[in-house]
Structure 1
């Protein structure tokens, strides 16, 4: 555990399931070149990787830095069922530091059911259990819209963690009118995804989204949007 601006360890009651669970087979690692984020830029709305919708599909994303940005190397994988966004996002986060367990193993560790992964505190515990130690903490954002202090802490956590090779896992609520690219525009989506990069000038964050809505796997969104997607849930950082 390390020093933080603010710490909160109360579990967030959040259901991380997609609205229409389904069954799927895992796919082998795709024979594609590693993904270069740098080649695409860091503006909000930029799709870095799209078109790989098959459940279980894996892609390697290379780490990189610019004068204002930093992103980590990850082993991305599309979630294998409609309700494994929690295990898939946890797996992606672990992949920046270690060879991660399968989504199925992580689903067991998380206690994930067909109703999803209940709260972000379960993700925090599984991240720490697999990595050893107590780096990750559960951070709540109960206010919607978030307070300035909550926004400041979120940005600080993103920069602090990514600069030390720790991705974040966020539990989000995406209603119609406030959604990442490709989400079903007529539904509210309760979901988990991984934050593994940032750009300080563009004020954007790089998302690895295991759901692959609309064919989007890796994309940039504004920090402002991320800060509105997490409440009233929380994140592991």
Structure 2
């Protein structure tokens, strides 16, 4: 399904181990098509460049995802350790997506806002807002950071077959294939494309941080 392009809790976060740098990267951008008019040109797909890092501890997915979003703006000077301090991350993880929003704003990444306490499953209106927020953020050269719950029924193919609390970064979209591009700090695949509906299932019940253009 080609998705229309628009012109935006709680528990501690923990992953099961740290990925290694030998993981594959599914990073190719689908063929881009464009719609043009006398006033505006809208690409049906776009992705941002980010500097990837694997998370340095089993509970630093929040700092790593925040760093990925910062690097989309060319901000590369902050280590995961420094970001963990700013986020209040401890051995239980990063407690809330709003902590990510605050740090992104404090460090000059953009005008970030938090969407939280989403129903599970998301309503149609929540999914539509998520898509619009991804498109608007990426079009403004900002990535989205998402707090997720991965379960066997919704997990990406390369994730463990268990329930995992995690953060990842969304750095692109393709409306022709209805997918979003993920930058991930764990589980062996640094970058990959995920069906939008699957991403919405992962974020449902948690929240995300997006740039309000």
| TM-score, length of structure 1 as denominator length | 0.75
Unaligned stretches of 5+ in structure 2? 1-5, 35-43
Displacement of 1:15: 1.5
Answer 1 or 2: higher relative contact order, Cα 8 Å, separation at least 6: 2
1:221 equivalent among 178, 189, 194: 194
Report the Cα offset of residue 14 of structure 1: 2.7
Cα deviation digits, residues 100-140 of structure 1 (max 9, x gap): 301010000000001000010100000000116x6100002
Q: Distance in 2 between matches of 1:18 and 1:154?
A: 24
2:105 to 110, 128, 146: 128
1:178 shift after superposition: 1.1
Q: Does 1:86 align with 2:62?
A: yes
Residue 164 of structure 2: which of 181, 186, 189 is its match? 189
- Any residues of structure 2 matched to 1:71-220 within 5 Å, and which? 71-100=47-76, 101-131=78-108, 135-185=111-161, 187-211=162-186, 213=187, 215-220=188-193
User: What is the aligned partner in structure 2 of residue 13 from structure 1?
Assistant: 10
Unaligned runs of 5+ in 1: 43-64
Checking the alignment, whether the CA contact within 8 Å between 1:181 and 1:216 is kept in structure 2 is no
Distance in 1 between residues matched to 2:132 and 2:108, nearest whole Å: 22
Q: Secondary structure at the match of 1:82?
A: coil
Is the aligned partner of 1:233 residue 2:210? no
Q: Which residue is 2:28 aligned to?
A: 37
Instruction: Note closer, same or farther for the CA distance 1:162–1:177 as it changes in structure 2 (3 Å cut).
Output: same
TM-score of the aligned structures, taking structure 2 as reference length: 0.83
Give runs of ≥4 in structure 1 deviating > 4 Å: none
Deviations 1:9-58 (A, max 9, x none): xxx213221145x7x9x99xx9xxxx9633xx47xxxxxxxxxxxxxxxx
1:52-83 residue CA offsets vs partner (Å, 9 max, x unmatched):
xxxxxxxxxxxxx6532100011111111110
